[in-house]
Amino acid sequence: MEFVKQILLLHLFDPTKSVFFILMAKLLKSLLRQLVFWILFFAFARTIYLVYNYGEIHTDQIPFFEIIAGYWHGLKLDIATACYFLVFPLLLILVQSAFNLKWLDWVNRIYTSVIIILYSLITSTELGIYPEWKTKLHYKALMYFSHPTEIYSSADSSTFFILLLIAAFMATVGIFMYRKYFYEDIKFSYYYWMRPLGIAVVAMPLMFVGMRGGFQQIPINQSQSYYSNYNILNLAAVNSGFNLFISVSENLNNLNKNPFEVYSKPEAEAVVKKIFATPKDTTLNILTTKRPNIVLIILESWSADLIESLGGKPGITPQFRKLEKGGVLFTNLISSGTRSEQGMACIFGGFPGHAISSITVQPDKYPKMPSLNKTLKQQGYQTSYYYGGQLIYGNIKGYIMSNGFDRIREVYDFGNDVIKGKLGVHDEFVLERQHQELNKTKQPFFSALFTLSSHSPFDQPMPEMLHWNIKERKYINSAYYTDDCLGKYFEKVRKEPWYKNTLFILVADHSHGSYKDWPFTTPNYHRIPMLFYGDVIKPEYRGYKCNKLGGHHDLPATLLHQLSLNAKPFKWSVDLLNPYSPAYGYFSFEEGVGWVRNSGFFSYDERMKHYHQMNLPPAAKDSIVKEGKSYLQVLFDDYMHY
């Protein structure tokens, strides 16, 4: 034992062999210098992007301090990207620290030089595509590089060579600065077995934390860098390498071909066109005014099984049940997606959720989508969005900012005098913040609020009120809490002068596995509530139940028709209050589709070529199956080409 103690003391305190001395003197002098280089190089690339697009920035008269704020807002994503780039150099350091192979220094230099060249090309390419596409470089643009002569032919020759010169300039400066001032050769004069072990134990966890953007629950994504209502500043702030990686990884399996292509494109499109055929363009006019204030409350993970009127057990959401008497309840809605980011695209863009990915996680796609918020802003609405958590989840922040909301509140905008759970600020405080700020908002306004407390881990601050012996007890109690918050919220806002001219819309972002334990591949699992409520509902429609089969991607068309506004850009959205509009239900899962008609339903996994559920009348089976498969095929094709 004495011998072991002596060895340990030698390792810890001998300055020539100490693990910590080696870590500080070698790892930090090499790895951290490389980290600093990448952060500076990313800032250099961002500067070139802003300077090149100075004309557009100048035209918009963007304040100088808002422009330079992008360097700060882009820093976290820059660090995350740098950490990804430094994984290979870290592995080289581990090998070198054990075996002192000097030629690995050249490997590191060559590797970094290649990354610098590629990043420079990405930046210069983004300069070329921004004037037309208004996006950063994404997977679809990469497909054009398989025909470089066509790129050259379609581009202005002077611009083409200017961009090449910019890329060459960036790469030259980057490589020179890296080799001259930042890279330091790894030199060890002796072998020491604890050296690589110490580096691995300390550096690898730090590298992992850097890659995911910190210790928060949600890993970093492009939304972290979104901060401005000027899209060009957000694009400049987002790290180009990180953005391209996400775009490619999200579409890796469908870069060139729709994985759900079952029929010829004309055949599938003809089927979908027939699905949407509407003999008469009309609607039930349920509102007393064409320009009400609109408050949209998005209910996190609310299943229809929480609502007594939709078949749920009594007592879970008693406040919602009271509201039904003063509004229009949509009783037969199915959530097309299973995640919140998909729900946002449904509600604000009328774009159904689909298999494999989501359109909202890809900033190159969603700016081209129609936007409920932008449509209302064109009509003079003041707009706002409230959420108690972190909006970087599912890149929701980027999508919401792209929608152009005038005011956005998330967890960082609340003080310390509110109760927070693991995910953020609880619903009662977010609802009250919205209430108080709407009191000061010019009418008409459109304000969206996304609840939080009914999301796992369901750590809502109210004692459990429903002591049911079921596995979803925490979930139903969290819904009871949110429902209770809604009751208190409406008690307060009914006293405000703006209340009488306000339409409240309560709708779930998606469903949740309920105490009824429905199979995931059945429509019952995906059923959600939606309620139009308020004094602006005509008296004869208060308490009315709309049984039309549909989804929450039908919200934009349904609402806009009530306002006598054009809903045609929302081509996947139908008016649920039009008696002649199509009645269908659709939901997606990772590799397949669920399709519902009043006569039955099926769910199908394309990858396994397997029907999970089949409940259709024999006479209509083939035609309904073709409808569902064609719908997903055309929808996914639309997603690919956005």
Instruction: Kindly report, residue by residue over 247-294, the tens digit of the pLDDT.
Output: 777 666 665 688 888 999 999 999 999 999 999 999 999 999 999 999
89 preceded by a cis bond (ω within 30 of 0): no
Neighbours of 200 (CB within 10 A): 15
> What does the pLDDT read at residue 9?
45
Beta bridge partners of 594: 587, 603
Least confident of 185-199, 201-215, 248-262: 185-199
Q: How large is the average pLDDT for residues 534-559?
A: 97
pLDDT range class, residue 439, cuts 50, 70, 90: very high
What local confidence, expressed as pLDDT, does residue 530 receive? 98
DSSP per residue over 15-63, as a string? TTT-HHHHIIIIIIIIIIHHHHHHHHHHHHHHHHHHHHTHHHHHHTT--
Is it the case that residue 6 has pLDDT exceeding 50? no
Residues 330-379: pLDDT tens digits?
Answer: 999 999 988 888 899 999 999 999 887 788 877 778 778 899 999 999 99
Q: Is residue 592 part of a domain?
A: no
d(C-alpha 354, C-alpha 633), whole Å: 10
Whether residues 245 and 311 share a domain: the answer is: no
| Token pair recorded at residue 480 | 């009871």
Residue 318 has pLDDT above 70, yes or no: yes
Angle at 553 (CA atoms; ends 323, 278), nearest 5 degrees:
105
219 and 296 both lie in a single domain = no
Residue 258 lies in a domain: no
Residue 152 has pLDDT above 60, yes or no: no
Shared-domain flag, residues 237 and 293: no
pLDDT of residue 145: 56
Q: How far apart are CA 101 and CA 95, in angstroms?
A: 8
Is residue 95 scored above 90 in pLDDT?
no
pLDDT bucket at 53, cuts 50 / 70 / 90: confident
So what's the pLDDT on residue 15?
47
The pLDDT value given to residue 8: 44
Question: What phi-psi label fits residue 293: left (phi over 0), alpha (psi between -120 and 50 degrees) or beta?
Answer: beta
Residue reference for tokens 């790290």: 239
| H helices present in 283-339, as ranges | 318-324
Share of the chain above pLDDT 90, in %: 55
Q: Which 8-state DSSP code applies to residue 114?
A: H
> Which tokens sit at 228?
């401005």
Give the least confident one: 88-92, 305-309, 481-485: 88-92
Res 242: pLDDT: 87
Which band of pLDDT confidence, cut at 50, 70 and 90, is reported for residue 296?
Answer: very high
> Do 202 and 296 fall into the same domain?
no
Q: Is 226 inside any structural domain?
A: yes
- Amino acid identity, position 398: G
Dihedrals phi, psi of 129, to nearest 5 degrees: -90, -15
The per-residue pLDDT for 405 is 94
Domain for residue 7, yes or no?
Answer: no
The chain-wide mean pLDDT, for the chain, equals: 86
Q: Is the pLDDT of residue 3 over 80?
A: no
Question: Is 285 a domain residue?
Answer: yes
Same domain, 426 and 485: yes
Q: Which of 554, 581, 608 is the last residue of a domain?
A: 581
221 and 346 together in one domain: no
Burial zone of 273 (CB within 10 Å; 0-12 exposed, 13-18 middle, 19+ buried): exposed
Residue in the block written with tokens 């590629």: 118
**233 and 286 belong to one structural domain:** no
pLDDT over 90 (residue 132): no
Q: Flag whether pLDDT at 317 surpasses 70.
A: yes
Contacts by 105-110, CB closer than 8 A, 24 or more apart? 105/183, 105/185, 105/186, 108/183, 109/178, 109/179, 109/183
State residue 333 phi and psi, 5-degree precision: -100, 145
Residues in the chain: 642
Q: Name the domain count of the chain.
A: 2
Distance, CA of 112 to CA of 104 (rounded, Å): 12
> What gap in Å lies between CA 329 and CA 507, rounded to an integer?
10
Tell whether 150 is covered by a domain: yes
Domain assignment present for residue 346? The answer is yes
Interval 520-548 mean pLDDT:
96
Highest-confidence segment of 111-125, 138-152, 156-170: 111-125
Average pLDDT of span 437-447 = 97
DSSP state of 463: P
Whether 205 and 320 share a structural domain: no
Residue 232 shares a structural domain with residue 286:
no
pLDDT 10s digits, 100-128: 677 888 899 999 999 999 999 989 888 87
Contacts of 273 (CB under 8 A, 6+ apart): none
Asked which of 562, 581, 600 is the last residue of a domain, the reply is: 581
State whether 368 and 286 are in the same domain: yes
Nearest Cα neighbor of 405 from 544, 236, 229, 582 is 229
The encoded tokens of residue 628 equal: 């569902």
Same domain assignment for residues 245 and 287: no
Tell me the pLDDT band of 185, cut-offs 50, 70 and 90: confident
pLDDT band at residue 13 under the 50/70/90 scheme: very low
Mean local confidence (pLDDT), 552-574:
97
143: exposed, middle or buried (C-beta count within 10 Å: 0-12, 13-18, 19+)? exposed
Q: Using CA atoms, how far apart are residues 6 and 571, in angstroms rounded to an integer?
A: 76
Average pLDDT of span 34-63: 87
Instruction: Please give the structure tokens belonging to residue 218.
Output: 């949600």
- pLDDT value of residue 280: 93
* pLDDT per position as a tens digit, 458-506: 889 999 998 988 888 999 999 999 999 999 999 999 999 999 999 999 9
Instruction: Decide: 155 and 128 in contact? Cβ < 8 Å.
Output: yes
**Do 239 and 291 lie in a common domain?**
no
Last residue of a domain, one of 581, 605, 621: 581
Domain of residue 319, CATH code: 3.40.720.10
- Give residue 187's pLDDT: 64
Residues contacting residue 378 through CB under 8 Å, at least 6 positions apart: none
> What pLDDT is recorded for position 219?
79
Indicate the pLDDT class of residue 21, thresholds 50, 70 and 90: low
Other residues' Cβ atoms within 10 Å of the Cβ of residue 487:
15
Query: What's the domain range around 67?
Result: 19-250
Residue 260 tokens, joined = 């759900």
In a domain, 599, yes or no: no
Residue 479: the pLDDT is 96
